[in-house]
Amino acid sequence: MTPVIPESPEYLSSVAAWRNAWRPRQVRVLLVAESHVGETEGDRGVRVTLPFHVEEAMPSTYCRLVYCLGYGEPGICHHSPASNRGTPQYWRIFADVAGMSPPTRALFPSLHDRVWHKLAILRAMRDRGIWLVDASTTALYRRGVPGKPKDYKQVIRTSWEREVWPSVSTDPVLLTYVIGLGVQRALAGLPGLRNARVITQPQDRTAGRHRDGLRELAEAIREIGVA
């Protein structure tokens, strides 16, 4: 069984650093997910090294967050983290809101080209003011621990009110989408979410519902003139 360890301050700092590396100057479209994936033993010893030079200042640490370019790309990780599958379903969301092709291995078999395309997606999102945050700043999913914590609702609501919403409350947010019906129910009634819309999780078992939601999200972005 995978060892379950508490999240270290260093790991949580890495999560925040990767997310903030792609924060737009002004957030216009806010996407709200649940949380990052919790730390696994050995993660703090992993370093992420891109196969090319980039202008952006990015962390070299590793974490299990979609914004971390090493998450799901073992070829740019030293040492290799355990079970580094990443979250390709969220890269599809990113690609859709950026109006670009998803960075799949089928379309981009070359590691170099695939990582470069991921950077292009992130740049497009940043330049359009699109940012994904997690409602909980601590992991609600841990490898080796089935299900959600018993205090799920309390954790996610407290995190949103005290940490996440204050970080964007002064931005000119025109559109907010919550990803996941359970996340929406947990956050119902909190500041900044009165007019939020929702799409289901990528793993929605109802055929086509998530895809329909993505089309609605992309259209809503176009309507407010961000895309």
- pLDDT tens-digit series, residues 44-96: 999 999 999 999 989 999 999 999 999 999 999 999 898 999 999 999 999 99
Tokens of 40: 């696994």
pLDDT at 225: 83
According to DSSP, the β-strands at 47-48 and 77-78 are antiparallel
Computed on alpha carbons and rounded to an integer, the radius of gyration of the chain in Å comes to 17
Task: Tell me: pLDDT of 143 over 70.
Answer: no
Q: Is 218 helix (H, G, I), strand (E, B) or coil?
A: helix
Q: How confident is the model at residue 1 (pLDDT cuts 50, 70, 90)?
A: very low
pLDDT at 39: 94
Task: Tell me: pLDDT of 106 over 80.
Answer: yes
pTM of the model: 0.94
Task: Tell me: pLDDT of 4 over 70.
Answer: no
Domain boundaries, the chain: 25-39+87-223
Q: How confident is the model at residue 204 (pLDDT cuts 50, 70, 90)?
A: confident
Task: Tell me: pLDDT of 2 over 70.
Answer: no
pLDDT at 164: 98
CATH class of the domain at 25-39+87-223? alpha beta
Q: What is the pLDDT of residues 153-188, one digit of tens each?
A: 999 999 999 999 999 999 999 999 999 999 999 999
* Average pLDDT rounded to a whole number, residues 34-47: 95
Average pLDDT, rounded, for the chain: 93
CA distances from 200 to 25, 103, 144, 224 (A): 28, 21, 24, 22
CA distances from 207 to 202, 210, 216, 222 (A): 11, 8, 16, 25
